[in-house]
Amino acid sequence: MPNVSIPALDEVIYLGPDETLLSGLYKAGYSYTVGCKRGGCGICKVDVLDGDFSYNRPIAATVISAEERTDGTCLSCRAVPDSDVTIQMRDDEMRLVNPFLRQINEKARRRAEALAAGTDMEQ
| Binding residues vs other proteins (CB under 8 A) | 33-41, 43, 57-63
Quick one: which of 57, 41, 58, 52 has its CA closest to 87?
52
DSSP assigned state of 58: -
Q: Which is nearer to other proteins, 11 or 68 (CB)?
A: 68
Sign of CA dihedral 65, 62, 25, 18: negative
CB of 43 to other proteins, least distance (A): 6
CB of 14 to other proteins, least distance (A): 23
CB of 59 to other proteins, least distance (A): 7
